[in-house]
Structure 1
Amino acid sequence: MRWKAGQPAIGWWRPGGGERGSPLSYGQRLAFTAVGERHCTGVWRAGKRTSCPAGRTVPGRAGSAQCPECARLDRSFSVAADTNAGDPRPYRVYLAWFGPGMVKVGITAEERGPARLLEQGAVTWTWLGRGPLMAARRTEELLRAALGVPDRIAYARKRAVRAGLPAEPERAREVAELHARAVELAGWPESLERLGCAVTDHAGPFGLAGLPVPERVVAGLLPGAAVVGRLVGAAGPDLHFADGLVVDTRLLAGWELAAAPADAVTDAPLALVVPPAEADGRAGQDGLF
């Protein structure tokens, strides 16, 4: 899944052929089947993808489409894993709201703009500050501790509440109040500039108005398994279909996908979407961000 200029797209890649994207539009029919086996997607480094040298396969239900060796190589030079502390680019600290009681503080490279917020499925958000990487990281830790917010929120919790969120003014007010508390805290690094509150809402790009209550989520793919439905919304890595089905596109990575027959129906393994109250206790952390 990719977010380009605020719009969702599916990213495709083949060895020697580079990457391309297929923009998605709400209302369109999506119908595809998985072909062959799911393979490791290799390593992304210096603006390009390198194939897995061993061509390993990965489990169909795994959230990551990397084999352990490629994952370790990816994290050996990663800002997210604190193994690339010398990154000279300016960074921004943000405050992201995903639902009632679901707020986090994070950082992203300034050049990426709001892409990271779209990728995470942040419904409402604002910038908090900008500066060098390590100053941004120290500020992130300061604000997490002072505001009592986590560094990760599981996608299962995010998707469970998307169809029943408070109105935009209410969620904007919660973000603005937290921003006001954050910028008044002592201990910000001198090299990090505080930024004024400018709340952005992603209900439009995500297609949240009238979004059906998510009932089932694709739990993984199998060779020959089909996924069919009418796309009505997307948030982070999730595609929402009109019949209440959700497709976590992280589970598509590593598969070859082919067009499904005209009469195909969804027969991929499915799981029930856990209600919000249960998701709080049952959903584990499923990604660094």
Structure 2
Amino acid sequence: MAQVWRCSGLRWSASGPVLVWDGGRHSALTRGRRVAFAVAEGGVRTCVGARGHACPLGAVVPGRGTGARCEECARLDRAHSVAADTLADDPRPYRVYLAWFGPGMVKVGITGAARGPARLLEQGAVCFSWLGTGPLMAARRTEELLRAALRVPDRIPYADKRAVRAALPGTEAERAAELAELHARAVALAGWPESLDREAFRPVDHVGVFGLAGAPAASGEVDELVPGGAVSGELVAAAGPDLHLATAGGVVVLDTRFLPGWGLVPAEGREFDVPVKALKGVRGEGAGVQDGLF
């Protein structure tokens, strides 16, 4: 019987994206590598728990969910997050940023200063710039100021991010232009918290890091993983949690947030046979027959 592995998700390191497995094993995701695995036959997707603790119910969670947590564990996990505003006395510095994902897609957000650009890589930000640094609540008030005064959202759906990756402007200057204009408007606003230090516009471009320059356009995305299903393809790009896999029928995007909670085994040359849907704004599904091992 093949050994069953459980994936904790994708993480971005200084050298690029890696898949993290329960037990501490890591798999580097270098471009050109074949990514292949199958979901264990007869298995179910179970809740991954919260805050380092197993789910007390061992709850079954939906295959399409990107959080892999039951309602109770999701509530517990969010209750201790920065987004929940429950860490008002956190003494660590935080940074406010503007992130660009494509034309007309700019969001504002905050991240711990110690994390550097990891949060931006995790979100699949094509380009970003810091806005300021300061205490958590000052960063949060600045984020809210931009949302209210400039109508900048704090969330952009992943389906929208995927839909524009094949049609990004060709130069870094073009990709940074919209950010530059919004950054100037943001730092000119009245009402910034005094404890937040504003930062000059210095765009950081991730097209090269993600491997999107010259990469073939994706035509489909994995809709969900299912027991007995298999995924296989050559990695051509990776952005945020998404792996762009070249298959016999075209490039298919796999959201790695679908992996946690499943038992995974080697694909052993099986066909690509998980549900695939057309990428938003793209006709055709682009699934094909695959082989290889991950």
Q: Taking structure 2 as the reference length, what is the TM-score of the superposition?
A: 0.88
Question: 1:96, 1:11 → 2: CA distance?
Answer: 25
Please name the residue that 1:228 is paired with. Answer: 232
Please name the residue that 1:287 is paired with. Answer: none
Question: 2:188, 2:142 → 1: CA distance?
Answer: 13
Residue 32 of structure 2: which of 27, 40, 56 is its match? Answer: 27
How many residue pairs end up in the alignment? 267
Question: 1:160, 1:213 → 2: CA distance?
Answer: 10
Residue 9 of structure 1: which of 9, 13, 18 is its match? Answer: 18
Correspondence 1:97-108 to 2 at 5 A: 97-108=100-111
Question: 1:133, 1:172 → 2: CA distance?
Answer: 27
Question: 1:21, 1:4 → 2: CA distance?
Answer: 11
| Superposed displacement of residue 6, structure 1 | 5.1
Question: 1:205, 1:171 → 2: CA distance?
Answer: 15
Question: 1:241, 1:77 → 2: CA distance?
Answer: 35
Please name the residue that 1:213 is paired with. Answer: 217
Please name the residue that 1:270 is paired with. Answer: 276
Please name the residue that 1:52 is paired with. Answer: 55
AA aligned to 1:145 is: A
Q: Which runs of 5+ in 1 are unaligned?
A: 277-289
Question: 1:255, 1:84 → 2: CA distance?
Answer: 32
Query: SS where residue 43 of structure 1 aligns?
Result: coil
Q: Which runs of 5+ in 2 are unaligned?
A: 1-9, 283-294
Segment of structure 1 superposing worse, 145-154 or 95-104 = 145-154
Question: 2:192, 2:177 → 1: CA distance?
Answer: 23
Correspondence 1:78-157 to 2 at 5 A: 78-157=81-160
2:102 paired with 1:65: no
Question: 2:236, 2:165 → 1: CA distance?
Answer: 13
Please name the residue that 1:171 is paired with. Answer: 175
Task: Give the conservation status (yes or no) of the 8 Å contact 1:6–1:205.
Answer: no
Task: Give the conservation status (yes or no) of the 8 Å contact 1:216–1:270.
Answer: yes
Question: 1:254, 1:134 → 2: CA distance?
Answer: 34
Residue 184 of structure 2: which of 161, 180, 187 is its match? Answer: 180
| Superposed displacement of residue 228, structure 1 | 0.7
Q: Deviations over 1:103-152 (max 9, x none)?
A: 01100010111000000000000000000000000001111222221111
Question: 1:77, 1:212 → 2: CA distance?
Answer: 40
Task: Give the conservation status (yes or no) of the 8 Å contact 1:126–1:197.
Answer: yes
Question: 1:32, 1:173 → 2: CA distance?
Answer: 40
Task: Give the conservation status (yes or no) of the 8 Å contact 1:6–1:118.
Answer: no
Please name the residue that 2:252 is paired with. Answer: 245
Task: Give the conservation status (yes or no) of the 8 Å contact 1:34–1:255.
Answer: yes
Task: Give the conservation status (yes or no) of the 8 Å contact 1:238–1:247.
Answer: yes
Segment of structure 1 superposing worse, 25-34 or 205-214 = 205-214
Please name the residue that 1:258 is paired with. Answer: 265
- Runs of 4+ aligned residues of structure 1 deviating over 6 Å after TM superposition are none
Provide the identity percentage: 63
AA aligned to 1:193 is: D
Query: SS where residue 37 of structure 2 aligns?
Result: strand
Q: Deviations over 1:166-215 (max 9, x none)?
A: 12211112212211111111110000000111110000110001222221
Question: 1:274, 1:177 → 2: CA distance?
Answer: 28
CA RMSD of aligned residues (A): 1.2
AA aligned to 2:37 is: F
Please name the residue that 2:285 is paired with. Answer: none
Question: 2:11, 2:201 → 1: CA distance?
Answer: 27
